Amino acid sequence: MRVVTDSTACLPADLPGGPAVVPLRVLVGDDVYAEGSDITPERLAELVADGERVTTSQPPPEAFATTYRGLAEQGARSIVSVHLSGALSGTVGAAGTAAARSPLQVRAVDSRTGAAGLGFAARAAAECAAAGADAEHVAQRAIEVAGTAQAVFVVDTLEHLRRGGRLSGPAAALGTVLGVKPILRLSDGVVELAQRVRTRAAGAERLLELAAGYVAAARRPVVAVHHFGAHDRAQALAGRLHTRTRADVEVTPLSAVLGVHVGPGTLAVVVADLGDHTH
């Protein structure tokens, strides 16, 4: 039993025993890069900030099929493939197409979340798989953890989300009134405008307050702070959140594909609840 996810899960590159990761693609002009191996989030943030035209693309079904075949050659008999919200990307659909053609039993799961919300779900599922659980148990564990994920982020502008079709024009316009900083949340797989603040500092303060509340409400919280071209601010926010909640806080760059759609300067906090689960 093995678990597969995609590069928007923002997983550490050296995660032992973690899920297999299929990269999404980043297009810069005529050049195509595999996220996580061919181009870093830091470099991509620089390109976007410099005005380069950057777009993204889901992996083709064959990319998933290749991963599934490779795991089968390693001895896998079944696979749970858990991915970025289908409301934001066709990635889970491509995984489903490959799953339908696979000689292995493969179940494609729409996490209805992204970033560390997806990453925490995929990691929890992989732990169940390593403990000997069957595909149904592993898939339900991924869905369970993903369903607890609370993801909030503050962006410098909603223009990137509007341009990429991830947010409506009217909502984008509301977010840029008087130059305020929009606070967004990922709710049931879609991006919503939650509120607006005046400054970056106020945005970070609001993320801290929201995250602290999520941690307090969780039985066994896991926490991540993401950034896109804002490493120092992310480290500062993570330190304050740890001081306030005593929770361990991972700090990772936002995946390149997600970063393109939210823009440079973005800060995000994701909290999920591992609960009292036993294998």
Whole-number pLDDT of residue 129:
97
- Which sign, positive or negative, has the C-alpha torsion 273, 260, 185, 143? negative
Q: What mean pLDDT comes out for the span 9-13?
A: 86
* pLDDT band at residue 256 under the 50/70/90 scheme: confident
Tell me the percentage of the chain whose pLDDT exceeds 70: 91
Asked if pLDDT for residue 241 goes beyond 80, the answer is yes
Tell me: the pLDDT tens digits for 167-208?
A: 544 455 554 555 678 898 998 888 888 888 889 999 999 999
Q: What is the reported pLDDT for 179?
A: 63
pLDDT in tens, 99-128: 999 999 999 999 999 999 999 999 999 999
- Residue 49 confidence (pLDDT) above 80: yes
Check residue 177 and report its DSSP letter.
G
Does 61 have pLDDT greater than 50? yes
The tokens of 133 are what? 């659980």
Q: What is the pTM of this model?
A: 0.92
Question: Is the pLDDT at 162 greater than 90, yes or no?
Answer: no
Beta strands 221-228 and 266-273 are antiparallel
Instruction: Give residue 260's pLDDT band: very low, low, confident or very high (50, 70, 90).
Output: confident
Average pLDDT across the chain, whole number: 90
User: What are the distances in angstroms from CA 89 to CA 31, 93, 209, 253?
Assistant: 21, 8, 29, 20
- How many angstroms separate the CA atoms of 185 and 166, rounded? 12
Domains plus CATH for the chain?
2-147 (3.40.50.10170), 150-273 (3.30.1180.10)
pLDDT of the residue at 175:
47
13-47 residue pLDDT tens = 667 788 999 999 999 988 999 987 888 888 888 88
Interior/surface letters 234-251, b for 16+ CB within 10 angstroms, e for the rest: beebbebbeeebebebbb
* Residue 165 banded pLDDT, cuts 50, 70, 90: low
Query: For the residues 129-157, what does the mean pLDDT come to?
Result: 95
Q: Which residues contact 264 (CB under 8 A, 6 or more apart)?
A: 45, 48, 49, 156, 228, 229, 230
190 SS3 class: strand
